[in-house]
A = this chain, B = another copy of it.
Amino acid sequence: MRSEIVSVGDELLKGQRVNTNAAFMAEALAGIGVPVCRVVACSDDEAEIAAVFAESLERADMVLVTGGLGPTRDDRTKEAARHLLGRGLELSEEAFANVVSRAGKRGVEMTELLRDQAMVIEGSHVIANTKGTAAGMMLCCPDRFQNHFLVLMPGVPSEMKAMMELTVLPWLAALSDTVIRHTPIKTVGIGESTLAEMLVDIEDALPAGTTLAYLPHAAGVNLMISTLGCGQVEVERDNRTVVEAIVQRAGKFVYATKEVSLEATIGEMLTTRGMTVAVAESCTGGLVASRLTDVPGSSCYFLQGFVVYSNQAKERSLGVPGEIIDRFGAVSEEVARAMAVGCLEKSGADFALSTTGIAGPAGGSLEKPLGMLCLAIAKKTSGVMLSKTLFMHGDREMNKLRFSEAVLRELWEFLRLG
């Protein structure tokens, strides 16, 4: 089964938007063993969309499309497809109920534009939109296009992703007879090339059908171990063997072998132990708290955060002694430790994390350069457990992210070892 991806939208041709949708879809399709042969981005022009559809349908068994299903006039995908296939439109009751419920929820009046969102091409299998109003469609094309499939989805990433995960991928996986097993290996605190060198012999000796992909992101690198084959037992075994070998080798950097964030992993560990955490942030500006509270149920273990940007706030809210700030500077392990201790006292939490540093772009000096981070961790029963100084080399947002990753990693390590 060969597939192609078509991304509709002038904004892609003007460089106003990076085509992250295509990357998400391609990765998801690779994950179920469906190769993507081309990705085409085209304009919102109806004739152009139809021409691209016709060409892609000729080459590929399955053409997955995003974009151009919204309510505005530059959304022409549905019209292009129905004219190409020679079909009319009909109201989908299911999609209409969704539009009504969303419009009701938001207190928006039902406009003509919204009603159009529930009109689908005749003969479509409707793909429910759990995140928005535009209905998705799966169409089996007529003989002229060799009964190939056309799948239409909105361009809003959250809507497309939900449709892929809930409807399209399960359907494609059922069509294919390949067995596939993916295991993510999530790491923290190690770079791509160091990890690659550590694993070189394992990578050299991968079983047939198994691949190891490095998936670097702004704050580190994850791995994906994928095994494709025909027998469930062999596929599971080969995949597990490789995963176990990697975990044995690089275990101190591996926080999970499933799709879970570092903050959620920490949340699970805190919940299991019935322990709580609070944070005192300067340079991360609330990002550590925000990441911890991204996790559903985090109110059970996250008590409180202090974003203390100014020295005055450090003194007033956390009781950091002014003389320590004067003597060592706000960016120092001494201040980080005092912040953690103050945070522990003020919050009553079991663990307190603190960050103070220089995210940039201004504020660096020869002694305390841009990207410098001081962090500390304190524990209720034991006081300060650790303080540390690290140096990063990104822009402001990247530094904030890496700073937050560094302090969360320390907490994870304490929980893992303790």
**A interface list, Cβ under 8 A from B:** 10-20, 22-30, 35-43, 48, 52, 70-74, 102, 105-106, 108, 111, 113-114, 131, 156, 158, 182, 191-194, 196-197, 203, 211-216, 218, 224, 226, 279, 281, 284-290, 292-294, 296-299, 302-310, 312-313, 316-317, 346-348, 359-363, 391, 393-394, 396-398, 400
Judge whether A14 and B42 touch: CB under 8 Å: no
Residues of B within 8 Å of A114, CB to CB, are 193
Contacts of A40 in B (CB 8 A): 38-41
A selection of 22 A-B contacts at a CB cut-off of 8 Å is: A12-B26, A13-B35, A16-B27, A18-B18, A37-B42, A38-B52, A71-B193, A73-B196, A74-B213, A106-B191, A285-B289, A286-B293, A293-B359, A294-B397, A296-B360, A299-B363, A303-B312, A304-B313, A305-B308, A306-B307, A312-B348, A316-B346
Residues in B with CB closer than 8 Å to A317 are 304, 306, 317, 346
**Complex Cα spacing A298 to B347, Å:** 26
Question: In the bound complex, do residue B37 and residue A19 qualify as a contact, i.e. CB atoms below 8 Å apart?
Answer: no
Instruction: Contact check, B306 vs A305: say whether CB atoms are below 8 A apart.
Output: yes
On whether A224 and B11 interact (CB within 8 A), knowing A16-B213, A23-B17, A304-B313, the answer reads yes
- Expressed in whole angstroms, the Cα–Cα distance for A42 and B293 within the complex equals 37
- A304 adjacent to B294 (CB under 8 Å): no
Taking the closest CB of chain B, its distance from the CB of A201, in whole angstroms, is 12
| A206 vs chain B, min Cβ distance (A) | 11
Which chain B residues lie closer than 8 Å to A391 at the CB level?
105-106
Contact A398 B158 (CB under 8 A): yes
Majority secondary structure, A binding face = mixed
What 9 A-B pairs have minimum CB-CB distances, sorted nearest first? A285-B293, A15-B27, A305-B307, A286-B289, A15-B26, A286-B286, A286-B290, A39-B41, A304-B313
Query: A322 to B88, alpha carbons, bound, how many Å?
Result: 61
Say yes or no: B307 contacts A214, CB within 8 Å: no
The answer for the CA separation of A292 and B284 in the assembled complex, in Å, is 11
Q: Is the CB of A17 within 8 A of B196?
A: no
User: Which one of A111, A193, A302, A308 has the greatest number of beta carbons of chain B within 10 Å?
Assistant: A193
| Contact B286 A305, beta carbon cutoff 8 Å | yes
Contacts of A43 in B (CB 8 A): 37-38
Task: For the complex, give the distance between the alpha carbons of A111 and B192 in Å.
Answer: 13
Question: Which of B13, B72, B393, B398 is within 8 Å of A37, CB to CB?
Answer: B13
Contact of A192 among B70, B305, B359 (CB under 8 A): B70
Q: Smallest distance from the beta carbon of A332 to chain B beta carbons, Å?
A: 17
Asked whether, in the complex, the Cβ of A307 is within 8 Å of the Cβ of B294, the reply is no
Q: Is the CB of B293 within 8 A of A309?
A: yes
Q: In the assembled complex, which residues on chain B have CB atoms less than 8 Å from the CB atom of A70?
A: 192-193, 214, 216
CB-defined contacts of A290 to chain B, threshold 8 Å: 284-287, 289-290, 400
> B16 contacts A18, CB within 8 Å?
no
- A22 to B7 alpha-carbon distance, docked (Å): 13
Flag if A14 contacts B307 (CB, 8 Å).
Answer: no
Beyond contacts A39-B40, A285-B293, A302-B309: 4 other A-B pairs, Cβ-Cβ < 8 A, are A17-B215, A158-B398, A290-B290, A293-B307
From known contacts A305-B307, A307-B306, A309-B302, infer whether A24 and B35 are also in contact, taking CB-CB under 8 Å. no
- A19 is contacted by which of B19, B36, B73, B360 (Cβ under 8 Å)? B19
Please tell me if the beta carbons of A362 and B305 are within 8 angstroms of each other in the complex.
no
Would you call B24 and A15 a contact (CB within 8 A)?
yes
The interface residues of chain B lying within 8 Å CB-to-CB of A362 are 296-297
B102 touches A393 (CB 8 A): yes
From known contacts A13-B39, A36-B13, infer whether A156 and B216 are also in contact, taking CB-CB under 8 Å.
yes
B residues less than 8 Å from A36 (CB atoms)? 13-15
- Nearest-neighbor residue (CB-CB) of A35 within chain B: B13
Contacts of A297 in B (CB 8 A): 362
